[in-house]
Amino acid sequence: MALQSLDIWRRSATTTEPPQQRVAMEVAKLIDVTKCIGCKACQSACQEWNDLREEVGINVGSYQNPHDLTANSWTLMRFAETEANGHFEWLIRKDGCMHCADPGCLKACPSPGAIIQYKNGIVDFAEENCIGCGYCIKGCPFNVPRLSEKDSKVYKCTLCSDRVAVGLEPACIKACPTQALVFGSKEDMKDHAAGRIAELKERGFDNAGLYDPQGVGGTHVMYVLHHADQPELYSDLPKDPHISPMVALWKGVTKPLALLAMAGAVLGGFFHYIGIGPNEVEEEEEVS
Amino acid sequence: MSAHKSQYIERYNTAERLNHWVTAITFILLILSGFSLFHPALFWLTNLFGGGPWTRILHPFIGVVMFGSFASLALRFWHHNILSKNDIQWLKQIPDVIQNFEDRLPEVDRYNAGQKLLFWTMIATIPTLFITGIIIWQPWFTPWFPRNVDRFAVLLHALCAFIMSTGIIVHVYAAIWVKGTMRAMVRGTVERAWVKKHHPGWYKRLEQGRDH
């Protein structure tokens, strides 16, 4: 076994269970968007820790930089402006992998062990096993994985699994100057969020709440939102994310059934040959 | 026809046979590489192509070759595959077909209804596989399409691959089942008696000196 803190819970394209005996604590990152000042320290810390460098881009009149998640930018501050609640609001959300309890990427991946979910809830890509098919991108309900133009492998936030494995917090957490980002056990993070939500409600944010969508079994990255009833205001955070029914059908029971049907067809042919036999031209027919 | 009857009748000329086998070989390569990603139990098949990434790289290129080859085959054979009234009756008597009671069946021309249905199954699935294959072809084409189109394409691709493969299993078995059939595609000729027995309608037209 590998490090206990990185015991594997689920593994892509694997039909038997990885070792299940040991139990581990589920971890979570809590992003309190109401405390975020959009400084992008988390973005920089992510690049630094993970040895990534984003290319210098162009400014199109938004603080959002780069414009989207890329194979080099595993987290991104998204800046949204809205007047949906009667007054102007500037809503900033740190985007990145949500580390779903039921990960669509892992469900879609055809390569054994290219996507793994640790016992602590972190969903990690093992790029050396990635074949570059892009199925995880189809599987993800949050539009997170990015295919690299450099090597045709897919990259995303690892929740700093290498740091967490040795008892450290993820790099983004360490860099956050306002403690908008906190990290710990999932239970502790929920408790922490509950306190914050109560404070926000006192301040008049009646719809403040926790974003831990149950459609994907809950996530190991959660948000505290002032408008938990309108997550889409935060740069299109999905209201009820779930694995697409098309992906579920494609990767569900249909494939084993299809294999069984094809094996049945082959076997049917064989038994027909044994039972009824070939269709041959008779001797007398040949003479005529 | 002349008084002298040769034992063999030509069914497929050289160009037709080569065209068929290019399609067949690319089909087998596509089945092996495609099914390796279809279900985890078959992932080991990627080893035949040099590993997972190579399988992912090669599969679509082989697919393009097969599509072109099949298109040519379809242009050669489509006019032999129009369903007739006899074919409907033939299909109603599938139990007789399966039990080799061929004398009870309506007269079959160059192709029987089963062969014709296989042809149209391929006509439906192969172009669908081609189009959906383009949509899910990473890294080049997929980014052009909306995510749900991409998801639908990959689902349809798997479904068509299943239908096509099941059809081909029947196709291959039929060639093993009906003796004397294989040489039509291997040598190009079939025995006269084989034509009389399995394709009497076509035989009549040959006797009358009409083209096949």
Residues 154-193, chain A: which have Cβ within 8 Å of B?
A: none
Count Cβ neighbours within 10 Å for each residue of A132-160 and write b for 16 or more, e otherwise. bbbbbbbbbbbebbbbbeeebbbbbbbbb
Q: With respect to CATH, is domain B14-166 assigned 3.40.50.10860?
A: no
The domain containing residue A265 runs over which residues? 250-287
A15 CB neighbour count, 10 Å cutoff: 10
ipTM for the predicted complex comes to 0.91
Instruction: Say yes or no: A92 and A149 in one domain.
Output: yes
Flag if B139 and A259 touch (Cβ within 8 Å).
no
Which of B57, B151, B159 shows the shortest C-beta gap to A244? B151
Instruction: Say yes or no: A190 and A97 in one domain.
Output: yes
pLDDT at B47: 97
- Banded model confidence at residue A283, pLDDT cuts 50, 70, 90: low
Instruction: Say yes or no: A47 and A79 in one domain.
Output: yes
Mean pLDDT rounded to a whole number for chain B: 94
Flag if B155 and A132 touch (Cβ within 8 Å).
no
CA distance A251 to chain B (A): 9
pLDDT at A285: 53
Residues 82-121, chain A: which have Cβ within 8 Å of B?
A: 110-112
- Banded model confidence at residue A5, pLDDT cuts 50, 70, 90: low
Calculate what percentage of chain B has a pLDDT beyond 90.
94
Instruction: Say yes or no: A37 and A154 in one domain.
Output: yes
- pLDDT tens-digit series, residues A253-274: 899 999 999 999 999 999 999 9
Residue A264: HSE in the Cβ half-sphere, 13 Å Cα cutoff: 7
Q: Which phi and psi angles does A273 have, rounded to 5°?
A: -65, -40
Flag if B166 and A261 touch (Cβ within 8 Å).
yes
Instruction: Say yes or no: A270 and A187 in one domain.
Output: no
Domain boundary (A228, A243, A258) is at A243
Domain CATH for A63: 3.30.70.20
pLDDT at B4: 59
Instruction: Say yes or no: A229 and A262 in one domain.
Output: no
Calculate what percentage of chain B has a pLDDT beyond 70.
97
Instruction: Say yes or no: A276 and A228 in one domain.
Output: no
- pLDDT tens-digit series, residues B78-106: 999 999 999 999 999 999 999 999 999 99
Instruction: Say yes or no: A10 and A114 in one domain.
Output: yes
Domain ranges of chain B: 14-166
pLDDT above 80 (res B1): no
Which of B142, B165, B178 shows the shortest C-beta gap to A279? B178
Q: Read off the pLDDT of each residue in A176-186 and give the average, rounded to a whole number.
A: 97
> B-chain residues within 8 Å CB-CB of A244?
148, 151
> B-chain residues within 8 Å CB-CB of A134?
136, 138-139, 142
> B-chain residues within 8 Å CB-CB of A105?
none
CB-based contacts of B19-26 (< 8 A; 24+ apart in sequence): B19/B69, B19/B72, B19/B73, B19/B76, B20/B73, B20/B185, B21/B185, B22/B65, B22/B69, B23/B66, B23/B69, B23/B70, B23/B73, B26/B62, B26/B63, B26/B65, B26/B66, B26/B69
Active site residue B79: no
Flag if A143 and B147 touch (Cβ within 8 Å).
yes
Q: Give one DSSP letter per residue of B14-41, joined into a string.
A: HHHHHHHHHHHHHHHHHHHHHHHTT-GG
Q: Is A284 on the interface with B (CB under 8 A)?
A: no
Instruction: Say yes or no: A188 and A264 in one domain.
Output: no
Domain count, chain A: 2
Higher pLDDT, A147 or A18: A147
Answering whether pTM is above 0.90, one says yes
- Banded model confidence at residue A4, pLDDT cuts 50, 70, 90: low
